[in-house]
Structure 1
Amino acid sequence: MVRFLGTANSILGAAARWRRDRRIGTLRRAADRARDNRDHAEAARLYGGVLALDGSLSEIYVQCGHMNKELGRLEEAEACYLAALALTPDDPDLHLQIGHLHKVAGRNGEAAWAYYCASKLRPGWAEALGELCALYEREGPRLIGLLSNRGNQQPRAKDCPSGTTLLVGLSDWATVGGTTALQVCHAAEQKVTVELFPLLDLRSKEALPAPTIAIDAAFEPAAGLHVARSSDWLEDGPYMVIARTAAGEGPLALQAVNIDSMSRWRSSYLAVVEEERALLALDRSDMERFVQEMRLRPRFLVVVEGSNPERMTSTVAALERQIYPTWICCRADGDFTKEVLQSCEADFVVCIEAGDELTADALFEFASAINAWPEIDMHYADEDSRLAGGQPGNPFYKPDWSPDYLEVFNYIGRPACFRMDIAYQAAGGIGYYDFVLRFCEKTNRIRHIRRVLCTVHRSAQQVADRAADRLALAGRLERTQRRGTVAPLVRAGYGWDIRIALARMPLVSIVLPTAGMTVEFEGRRIDLLANALLNIYRESSYGNIEVVIIHNGNLSVEHEALATSFGCRLVHYSEPRFNISKKLNLGVSEARGEFVVLLNDDIEVANAAWIERMLEHFEKDHVGVVGARLLYPDGTIQHAGVVMNWGAPDHVMRGAPGDSDGYFLSTSGTHNYAAVTGACMMVRRDDYISVGGFPEDLAISYNDIDFCQKIRLKGRSIVYAPQVVLTHMESQSREPVLDPEETAIYQKRWAVRNAIDPFYNEVRLSIVPPTFEVTFNGRYI
């Protein structure tokens, strides 16, 4: 039986490959015919379809680049050529084509470099040398400096360990790419420096820009090679790698590599997309019959922003494939005005941009949701955007309704459908983001459909009008009666940080449980309580605070004197059994502040305005708890929010670089989560008491998560505030343990409610651990 099943699986796998290869062949022949007939747009689309099925075909990237170049879409053509270059870096014809592209774009220095590489790969090639000479005649000696600083040895491929990329040049150096880190090996005795330059950013005519990163390689006897390992995470994309001697002499070798942190799931994602399309084709007739049985038949007005004819064509074609028939389309060239909404009678409006393509079942899904939840005023769904070759591959799996995340960027995005009467009230502002903000101020009856229903022309990371978005958020502050500034998240290149000028300075009680311990940590002795107090009072800029210290009755004379000097209040916890929930509840009962901060004694303040940056969120009535970005002493993330990982709480992005942006600003932007850690959280004292504080039957484990769930049941949000940065040594006062009895109590209380995390897509995002990496979890598929 085992042998039979293995044979069957083999046959099924071969059949699937045969069907895929047959489909690829059909698309290639159709694309070639369109190319020969000079229908460049159709050819580009068909070549993109081939790449969706097999992204390893360098020659198809080249053809797709040719078609885009013919259409004048030079950026798309360049992206295709560079993708091909990463696959076949020693193809002289490809370097020649890249040179032609750069010459057309007027980037003569880059064109010269491409022609130079082509002539080196095919010595004596008249066409490449002729182009190079022609450029030299125009540009003169400025090209000499460019060419003399580039390498002159082309690498060759060599076998490599599984899961890595090994490119070995004539001087026996190699690049080994994991995910976003890079290693370089070199067999020579001397020290080697490796420089990496992003190919898409080479815009200088005369010289290379400063390298993204330079790595020194040291000799490792066990490997018999010099090895350099990058500690930085590199952005995805194609890079030029140049190996030099440490003295900076002429290059030893050069190579183009493609760093793709998503490569291991890319093929799986495309397979799922194709499967969903196939299933939709099979189900279409049933769905059309179901439409006839719908109790409500909502009328949709689809508003398309933009006027690009080619993009509009693809958008309209996708609309014409809709299963749900009751819709009308109109175009909006400018702002989202009331006149546009008055153009026809409709119940809901769907807003997309020219170039966006709704899936065939998008309006059907919206209509089905309206029938299931007729009281909901806005439905929004997940989205995808296309890669360079035209295939999907950048999905945005959004959280459920997250009002605070919406103030970072327009995460609602496309597609979304809005109830018409409220939409009419919200229209008339300065763009789509402003419209969404205004709409969500008028209702909180908002529902998320956890399906990709649109491939967007412009991904969420690509902002069309930053000035309009800033004005939209400034208007949001004015309408919600908050004063503050709207600053860009510079590192990410998109998104916003709203900093509020506090309307008042309420008393904040910092509740600090402690065992009064001194610990050895990373080579230094730390008196935890003294260190915490000195940090709070010397490093914090907020003045109206009190510190309530809950101790076990064993503080030293020095501790008491220090606490008294700062005006702290000492509260004795006298019970013999350790119970952090009881300690915190005791401390809060003694606190006098309007707001309470629960804080571990093994935390150090990293930014002075940490209290203000937590308080500012409470100027929004819906906020219940605010948590912080906690870093390990090495700068990596310890806490950036808590999700329900298969129903069990877990920290997202634990161990990632502390300054990373995360998945669509999940780490660097304000975000809503199911819970935050009790190591540092702020809450209104009245709210704390009204839900009964921390659960005292959970003495050690899950008590902070239980507390957040009770706050959420009151209708309040849990907010992760990334601008509140502290260092957490974690569990220095007590060894971390997980009590099985407490686990059972927690799961009995919350398992049903936490089966699905509203802010983290457990079907499509990694769950063990929760790192926001796109994946496909067998539990749900």
Structure 2
Amino acid sequence: MKFLPVFVQTLMRRPHRALGALFWYATGRRVRARNRLRMVAAQLPHAYQMWIDTIERRHEAVADAKTAAERWLRRPTFTIVISVSTADEHAAVLASLRSVQAQCLPDWAAIIVLAEGDRRSFPTSDARISVAEARAQDAAQALDMAIALARNDYIVPLAPGALLSPIALYRYAEAILAGDKPAILFGDHDEIEHRRRKRPWFKPQWNAEMFLAQDYVSPACAVHTADARAAGPIASDLADAALFALLLRVSGAASARIVHVPFVQVHLAQVLPDNQAARVRAAARHLVDARAIVSAGPHRSVRVQWPLPDPAPLVSIIVPTRDKEKLLRACVSGVLSGTRYRNFELLVVDNGSVEPDSLRYLDTIQEHPQVRVIPYDLPYNYSAINNFAVAQAQGDYLCLLNNDTEVLDEDWLTELMRQAVRPHVGAVGAKLLYDDGSIQHAGVIVGMGEAAGHAHRFLRQDDPGYFRQAHVPQYASAVTAACLVVARDKFLAVGGLDEERLQIAFNDVDLCLKLDREGWRNVYAPAAVMIHHESKSRGKDHSPAHIDRYMRELGVLQQRWGTKTHADPSHHPNLERSSETFVIRL
């Protein structure tokens, strides 16, 4: 970030904070100054325009792209496909075509597919633009026709009125030439209104679990033509989600490579219609062999419930505790009486409780047939306590659960287990809420704050937030052990929690990264919801009593996993690394 241009724009709206940043800059503490100014500027209404002016600098990028493309020995070719369904889209199509003609890469053709009965013409002197002779009954048939007519390497579907960035095809070509032939490329997109760009979606890298739930790929993508043809025709009842259905098929191939191009590739001129019902049908058809239950989910998402084995496997729920009888009572009562998944044992690991109320309660719950109280009389070490309990657990699956959690929904364990039983899945984490109902945990972003942070922290549960990402299941680098399920054999295969060097903090992140390194994908499962009274039982890591230990463990995480510079696939480089709320990085 260039300090002075951002300072000038911030000064007009947030003068006190801007001047505070200037003080740090003038006194030589420029990293702190930039961080302060960046966070203030990111909250301003015109933050995106500031980003366009100071970070994107598209005019410079276009000139660089033209120079670079001239040196390429070969260039991938593209067919832009525009399907027109109504007469009032004529002007929108012409605007889209102008953006295609403005591409700095000339190796393209454009095919316009008109709806049945539409006899309009699109006069143009550009021989690269053609109108399909046949007319399409619906969007599914239109896409199939365009795929059959395409003669170039890749197909780029474009909604009427959507504008390609002038270097969009160059960015796709650059990514194609950088590696093995991708089946799908997708970029970021924003919206354009009255010639002003707004609402940028800086997207995560390819995430198959997230894509099932919400289509974040279709608005700005390119599909390899041969792979699109191999996917076969699209059923007419999926017409409202024709491209989503095609992408599901293409991405489902075992050899398919899907590449994220981390640039704003497309500007949408209109809000895309809600096609949730068609996406539900497409996902259900795609997953028919998996026996998954597919239905409409929250915030216009698609909900996929993966099947459970019959009989359901035994889960060992491990709850470390010391005193805090009221917290423990709320946790245990919810587990015993508010959990629909019944095949579990509850191991309460008592780390030296001394309060009479706590001791009486521990004696009482031992009478329940599903509960065992296990004494652990050594000094507090979260990793060691859980590893100790795992050695005595009987379940094939483990649920690590804090004693300061409360069950909100009786399906919490069912939803976690639906993911955990999948062979390629490692750890599965729940959506955790603060007492006021705002989000405490929606997956962990590794590298955030040069360590690890909770995605979407403080977002209201009913707020869609940053493009609904807090509310859809997705692969995650890590999830918190405040509520985490993992297969016992996978937990043991990676050595469990690190009780030597990560006794209290970051042991869950370390566990998840070890699982990921072995090829098991960690999953954030938002349908499993609990309250988490964060750190009420042991206090805050940053308190004076804990800070030295915390800093040591932070150093271990940073050295072991390179979190100072790590780029999490769920977090775009254009988003602020020091913020858990997904704001633009300036």
Shift in CA distance, 495/513, structure 1 to aligned 2, threshold 3 Å: closer
CA contact (8 A) 2:318 2:398 kept: no
Amino acid at match of 1:657: R
Greater RCO (CA < 8 Å, at least 6 residues apart) = 2
Q: TM-score, normalised by structure 1?
A: 0.61
Aligned counterpart in structure 2 of residue 611 of structure 1, from 413, 416, 420? 413
* 1:328 paired residue number: 109
* 2:572 paired residue number: 761
* 1:317 paired residue number: 98
Deviations 1:291-325, CA, capped at 9 Å, x for gaps: 23224421212222325211110111111011111
- Consecutive unaligned residues of structure 2, counting only runs of 5 or more, are 17-39, 115-138, 542-546
- Consecutive unaligned residues of structure 1, counting only runs of 5 or more, are 1-5, 15-159, 164-260, 520-525
Distance in 2 between residues matched to 1:752 and 1:603, nearest whole Å: 28
Matched, 1:641 2:443: yes
Distance in 1 between residues matched to 2:563 and 2:451, nearest whole Å: 11
- Offset at residue 557 of structure 1 (A): 5.4
What is the 5 A alignment of 1:569-718? 569-574=372-377, 576-618=378-420, 620-643=422-445, 644-696=447-499, 697-718=501-522
Amino acid at match of 2:287: L
* 2:560 paired residue number: 749
CA contact (8 A) 2:209 2:475 kept: yes
Match of 1:735, SS state, is coil
- Offset at residue 470 of structure 1 (A): 1.9
Matched, 1:265 2:44: yes
* 1:567 paired residue number: 370
CA contact (8 A) 2:506 2:554 kept: yes
Distance in 2 between residues matched to 1:282 and 1:556, nearest whole Å: 69
* 1:353 paired residue number: 159
Match of 2:409, SS state, is coil
Distance in 2 between residues matched to 1:161 and 1:394, nearest whole Å: 22
Match of 1:601, SS state, is coil
CA contact (8 A) 1:386 1:456 kept: yes
Shift in CA distance, 404/161, structure 1 to aligned 2, threshold 3 Å: closer
CA contact (8 A) 2:344 2:370 kept: no
CA contact (8 A) 1:509 1:548 kept: no
* 2:343 paired residue number: 544
Distance in 2 between residues matched to 1:264 and 1:511, nearest whole Å: 41
- Offset at residue 600 of structure 1 (A): 0.7
- The percentage of aligned residue pairs carrying the same residue is 25
Deviations 1:718-756, CA, capped at 9 Å, x for gaps: 222222111111223212325221111111001168521
Match of 1:394, SS state, is strand
Distance in 2 between residues matched to 1:379 and 1:753, nearest whole Å: 28
CA contact (8 A) 2:397 2:488 kept: yes
CA contact (8 A) 1:350 1:416 kept: yes
Shift in CA distance, 691/266, structure 1 to aligned 2, threshold 3 Å: same
Distance in 2 between residues matched to 1:464 and 1:728, nearest whole Å: 34
* 1:532 paired residue number: 331
Deviations 1:645-688, CA, capped at 9 Å, x for gaps: 14311122322323322211122222333221110011122211
Shift in CA distance, 310/692, structure 1 to aligned 2, threshold 3 Å: same
Matched, 1:377 2:186: no
Distance in 2 between residues matched to 1:273 and 1:424, nearest whole Å: 37
Shift in CA distance, 310/513, structure 1 to aligned 2, threshold 3 Å: same
* 2:536 paired residue number: 732
* 2:312 paired residue number: 506
* 1:436 paired residue number: 247
CA contact (8 A) 2:430 2:526 kept: yes
Amino acid at match of 1:663: Y
Amino acid at match of 1:472: A
Deviations 1:523-562, CA, capped at 9 Å, x for gaps: xxx1x33332221110111111112232336573541341
Distance in 2 between residues matched to 1:699 and 1:444, nearest whole Å: 41
Matched, 1:771 2:552: no
- Offset at residue 391 of structure 1 (A): 1.4
Distance in 2 between residues matched to 1:13 and 1:465, nearest whole Å: 43
Q: TM-score, normalised by structure 2?
A: 0.80
* 1:297 paired residue number: 75
CA contact (8 A) 1:511 1:550 kept: no
* 2:22 paired residue number: none
Distance in 2 between residues matched to 1:767 and 1:745, nearest whole Å: 20
CA contact (8 A) 2:313 2:397 kept: yes
Distance in 2 between residues matched to 1:161 and 1:385, nearest whole Å: 26
Which has the larger Rg?
Answer: 1
Matched, 1:281 2:59: yes
CA contact (8 A) 2:189 2:265 kept: yes
* 1:187 paired residue number: none
- Offset at residue 385 of structure 1 (A): 1.0
Distance in 2 between residues matched to 1:426 and 1:638, nearest whole Å: 41
Distance in 1 between residues matched to 2:369 and 2:273, nearest whole Å: 48
CA contact (8 A) 1:305 1:353 kept: yes
Amino acid at match of 1:342: A
CA contact (8 A) 1:530 1:562 kept: no
* 1:418 paired residue number: 223
Match of 1:472, SS state, is helix
Distance in 2 between residues matched to 1:717 and 1:286, nearest whole Å: 38
- Offset at residue 275 of structure 1 (A): 5.6
Shift in CA distance, 424/556, structure 1 to aligned 2, threshold 3 Å: same
* 1:202 paired residue number: none
Shift in CA distance, 450/732, structure 1 to aligned 2, threshold 3 Å: same
CA contact (8 A) 1:359 1:454 kept: yes
Match of 2:169, SS state, is helix
Shift in CA distance, 771/508, structure 1 to aligned 2, threshold 3 Å: farther
* 1:487 paired residue number: 296
CA contact (8 A) 1:511 1:587 kept: no
Distance in 2 between residues matched to 1:283 and 1:546, nearest whole Å: 59
CA contact (8 A) 1:508 1:594 kept: yes
Distance in 2 between residues matched to 1:458 and 1:617, nearest whole Å: 36
Distance in 1 between residues matched to 2:557 and 2:75, nearest whole Å: 43
Matched length: 510
* 1:409 paired residue number: 214
CA contact (8 A) 2:276 2:301 kept: no
Amino acid at match of 1:397: F
Amino acid at match of 1:424: R
Q: CA RMSD in A?
A: 3.0
Amino acid at match of 1:330: I
* 1:448 paired residue number: 260
* 1:463 paired residue number: 273
Match of 1:548, SS state, is strand
What is the 5 A alignment of 1:25-44? none
What is the 5 A alignment of 1:200-279? 264-274=43-53, 279=57
* 1:177 paired residue number: none
Distance in 1 between residues matched to 2:474 and 2:150, nearest whole Å: 37
Distance in 2 between residues matched to 1:561 and 1:282, nearest whole Å: 71
- Offset at residue 439 of structure 1 (A): 1.4
Distance in 2 between residues matched to 1:384 and 1:706, nearest whole Å: 35
Distance in 1 between residues matched to 2:104 and 2:307, nearest whole Å: 50
CA contact (8 A) 2:277 2:296 kept: no
Distance in 2 between residues matched to 1:593 and 1:752, nearest whole Å: 33
Match of 2:428, SS state, is strand
